[in-house]
Every structure is written in structure tokens, then in C-alpha cells.
Structure 1
Amino acid sequence: MGGDVNDAYRIDTDGEPRFLLVQPGRTAEFYAAEIAGLEAFEAAGITAPKVLGNGVIDGDAYLLLDYLEEGQGSQRELGQLVAKMHLTHEPGNLFGFGLPHEGGDISFNNEWTDSWSELFVERRLDHLRDRIVAENLWSEDDAEKYLQVRQVITDALEEHRSVASLLHGDLWAGNYMFLSDGRPALFDPSPLYGDREFDLGATTVFGGFTEDFYDAYQQEYPLNEGAWRRIRFYRLYLLMVHLAKFGGTYANSVEKSMDDILNR
């Protein structure tokens, strides 16, 4: 746990291991959305670290969690767990969250809306496009290609009825683990209520999820027609996040992702 955003430490208090995340130079509110996500997981019966404390020490924000002992487990059970999370729906089918997404250097507006396309395309993809262009990571041709891709995405989402599911928001292989008793657990959420295909798109970018995962997910919560075509939209999103954060290393991957969307 910790990723590329936080400083992360194992500490012992009263003989018990704890997990400490530190974000230098931030207020305690930096962790507000993550805490809310972990609490939403707990309410939904999703195995995740419990929040033990949050505050500021010497000008640095911290989040104290219980320590999860790592073991080995089943991708099928992981698929079932993710499906269970996605079966937790926002009662009014509204998309968003009560708090914004605050990343280390990228933030997103999570204000509630009844339009998934507004939240995903206008507030996330367009925001990333603006940052990528401002940092001179795209040529004019790249920006024009994005507009073509954007049209494909908005047209497809207009035809698809999205359901507001509880999402992890950053579901790559570095944000799950198997516990010492074999149970799967999720951590480091960037929570929102959104189309579940958003999370599944993230699982396809860097590996770490097997066919057993997808088969078990499909059995628990079958995907709608055209899902795997739309999942490519969320692959593009995650690659654009990495282009914005880490620069040109991801330029070719983003270009290939856009071409894939346009050519099918």
C-alpha cells in the first residue's frame, strides 16, 4: 500500500503492527476521500484496511490503518469481491461522490450528476486533455484525434444505460492483495459511484488479473452487451492519467489506445 503518492511505513504500537501513510505538506483533508471510500467498503462488506487515525504531524498529513498480513489466494474470489462491490448501487443512480478526488498532483471534480458521460468525459477525460496539451505532450494532430475519440465515446455512452456502482476508482494490481487467510482485500481507493466498466478498464492496463477473475466476475454480475468495447475507453483514461503524471513514456500507449477506439 502507499503507491507513488504517499510515503508508507510499517510501525508497531503496543506490540501490534500498523500501516502509516504520510503526505508531506498537506492537510488532514487530503485523506478524506480515501477514508470515506474505506468506510463505504466496510459498509458494503468489502474486505479492506480499517481506519485507525488521521491528522497532521509537523505539517504533514497522515493516515493510520490496521496492518494486513499478506498471503496467497484465489483470483476467482477476487472477481467475486469486485462484483460484490459493484453490486452496491447509489440509490438515486447519481454519479460522483461526496468528496473530490485528490491525487498527489491530479484532482477531479466528483460533484453529483445524473450523467455518467458528464462525469467521465467532461470532468475527467477533458480535464486530462487540457493538462496534457498545456504541458506540450500532444501535438495539434493528437488533440484533433482526441476530439474524434471523444465523439466515439460520447455516442457509445449515450446508447448505454450506466448504473451508478460503488467503484474502487484505481483498480490496478497494486491495489489488491490476498491476506494470510487467503481472502482478497482492496485498498488505496479513489472512490466514486460510476459505471462499473470504469474499474474493469483499469484491470486490463498493467496486468495482474487472470481469466479466472473475469469469469468469476461475469458469473456474479454479468456484463452488458458491448462492455468490452466500452472498457477500452477506461483503458485510455488510465493511460492519459499516466501520460499527464509521468510524461512522454506513455505517449505511444495513449496513441495506440486512441487508434484502437477509432478503428473498431
Structure 2
Amino acid sequence: MNRPGGLGGLAADVSALLGRDVGDPVPLGGGSVCTAARLGGPAGHDAVFAKTLDGAPDGFFTAEAAGLRLLAATGTVAVPEVWAADRYTLVLEWIEPGPATPSQAERLGRELAALHGVRAASWGTAGPGFIGRLPLPSPAGTPPAAPEQWADFHAEYRLLPFLRRAADGGAMAPADVRAVERVCALLPRIAGAPEPPALIHGDLWSGNVLFAADGRARLVDPAAQGGRPEADLAMLELFGCPQLPRILAAYEEVRPVPGRRERVALHQLHPLLVHAALFGGHYGAAAGTAAREALSRA
């Protein structure tokens, strides 16, 4: 029997994973990849959050679950508890949304700074990784871990694969492709001082920051990996976030990053290329603009 798709399949999966009937799903908006819903939870809990993706690639939801557990294990940032994950479904603790208060934003900034103080074993992911529905490529063999290896890793595994996807899909003009390729060639010179890999969220746009009714923001939907902390902050700035100035000010009180302002466009290039590959539209031109700004500020 084929698994039903959409919300019907999601409710069936959650019931099977939790071992009880969870009732009818209440659909949730806000995402651009998965179908998500609020469902009744087991005894002692009012609800769970669950999401599904028809045709999800192998490891898609288990990688997300692993990323959430990795972030939680640092004891720095708050994430929803993972209740279950399988081929088609991820089930998380329900977090009641709340207002983006200044105190919550400032706490998040300090917690992000603490997260970025955690060393990662290497650049990139140890196992399968995804951003949106796209796979995050990983080097074969021994993963790079030396501070000076970031530029080559970032160009080969975080910029060029998504540039090729976007260009092949018709989302990049030739001049914009050349600008990104120029950034990749010059990355060792424009990346700033070498630093060891830090654990980062990896997909930190505002939709993955859940301000909560209990007063502590949660991070969701990570592409957790070893990276440069500036990437998380640049992505928050790229798409905006409630109380963003307070988040950044609190972060920088704990963990100032010299020269970060000059490298924002550089670190926004990866998410822009991902969006160009996924959605086309204006994102290809925006990636070209970011590449030229990164070159001009070098």
C-alpha cells in the first residue's frame, strides 16, 4: 500500500510513531519546503509539531533531528525536543509561539554567541546534510578541519555547487556567475583571519527563530555544521528578524567579531545561491550583487 501524501499521511505517520491516535492535523504556514501541522500529543502534553515532505530524500528528516540534538547537546541555545523521526516525518515538542520581546532577543543573542564558542570537529557535516530540500555536499575521506582550509572548503562545497545548480536552472546571468566565480578564486584573500570551525545553525533565517510564549526563543530547522559564525549572523541580516539590532548587540557584547561588517555580503552569498537554485526569481541577481560587494570590500 502506498503511503498517503500531505496532511493525511502526516497524521498517520505521527500516530504510528507515537503509538496513539493524534487526531486531525491543524495545518501551519510559514515554511516553503515541508507540509507542517499541529497535532494532539501523548498523555501529559497538549500537542506536537510535525512536518512531512512527499518524496523526501533519504536521511532528510533524520539529519534535521540529528542537528537539533547536536545543538541541544551544547547547552547553549534552546531547541524543541525531538520526539521521533523517520523517512517521511519529523515530530517535535510543540512550542507555543509568543511575542518577540527585547529580553527574549537579547537572550538569544547571548546564546548564539555561546553556541559559536563551541568547536566543531571539522568544516561541514559529519553525515548527510540538507539546506531546504537540497543536499549539502561533503568532502570524501578525511573532512577538512584546519582553520586555513575553510576558504577552499567553502568555495568547493558551499558556493560552487549551488552556483552550478542556479546557473543550470537559468537563474544566473553570465556576469553574475563570473562575479561568484571571482569570489571563489579570491576567497583565501578576502575571508579574514583564519579561525577553527565552530558549530553553527547553518540556516538561520528569521523563520527558523521561534519566539516563544515562555520567554525563551527556540532555533528550528537547522543545517547544523562546522562553519564560520559570521554565516549565521549574516543570514539573520539577509532576511530580517524581529528585534535584530538587540540580538546583534547582545551577541557582540559577548563575542565581538572584528571586521564582520565588511564580510556580511560574503557570508550572504551562500544562502542567496541556495535560494537561486531553489526558487530562481531575483535571487540570482541578488547573489551577483552580493559577490560584487564582497569583492569591493576586500
Q: Note whether the superposition's TM-score is higher than 0.5.
A: yes
Higher strand share: 1
- For 1:107-152, what per-residue CA distance to the aligned partner results, in whole angstroms no more than 9, with x for missing partners? 1223421221232111110111211221233333332222222233
Q: Which residue in the other structure is 1:95 paired with?
A: 123
**Counterparts of 2:57 and 2:281, CA distance in 1:** 31
Offset at residue 28 of structure 1 (A): 6.3
Counterpart of 1:34 in structure 2: which amino acid? Answer: E
Q: Which residue in the other structure is 1:70 paired with?
A: 97
Q: Which residue in the other structure is 2:81 paired with?
A: 50
- SS state of the match for residue 263, structure 1? helix
Q: Which residue in the other structure is 1:154 paired with?
A: 188
Distance 1:216 1:103, change over 3 A: closer
Report the identity percentage.
28
Tell me, yes or no, if structure 1 residue 21 matches structure 2 residue 51: yes
- For 1:143-182, what per-residue CA distance to the aligned partner results, in whole angstroms no more than 9, with x for missing partners? 222222223333123x521221111011111111222121
Distance 1:105 1:179, change over 3 A: closer
Q: Which residue in the other structure is 1:215 paired with?
A: 249
Distance 1:210 1:27, change over 3 A: closer
**Counterparts of 2:169 and 2:31, CA distance in 1:** 24
Q: Which residue in the other structure is 1:82 paired with?
A: 112
Give the alignment partner of residue 165 of structure 2, picking from 131, 152, 167: 131
Counterpart of 1:139 in structure 2: which amino acid? Answer: A
Q: Which residue in the other structure is 2:4 paired with?
A: none
- SS state of the match for residue 153, structure 1? helix
**Counterparts of 1:54 and 1:258, CA distance in 2:** 37
- Per the normalisation by structure 2, the TM-score is 0.79
- SS state of the match for residue 119, structure 1? helix
Q: Which residue in the other structure is 1:12 paired with?
A: 40
**Counterparts of 1:83 and 1:242, CA distance in 2:** 26
| Structure 2: 5+ residue stretches without partners | 1-27
- Computed over aligned residues only, the root mean square deviation of the Cα atoms, in angstroms, reads 2.0
**Counterparts of 2:216 and 2:133, CA distance in 1:** 32
Offset at residue 7 of structure 1 (A): 0.9
Distance 1:131 1:71, change over 3 A: same
Q: How many residues align?
A: 256
**Counterparts of 2:132 and 2:289, CA distance in 1:** 26
Find the structure with the greater CA-based Rg.
2
Distance 1:104 1:180, change over 3 A: closer
- For 1:3-59, what per-residue CA distance to the aligned partner results, in whole angstroms no more than 9, with x for missing partners? 212110100034620011112123662212211111112211221111111224xxx
Tell me, yes or no, if structure 1 residue 121 matches structure 2 residue 121: no
Tell me, yes or no, if structure 1 residue 239 matches structure 2 residue 272: yes
Give the alignment partner of residue 201 of structure 1, picking from 212, 234, 254: 234
Tell me, yes or no, if structure 1 residue 186 matches structure 2 residue 251: no
- SS state of the match for residue 204, structure 1? helix
Where do 1:159-174 residues align within 5 Å? 159-174=192-207
Counterpart of 2:249 in structure 1: which amino acid? Answer: D
**Counterparts of 1:142 and 1:231, CA distance in 2:** 18
**Counterparts of 2:171 and 2:220, CA distance in 1:** 31
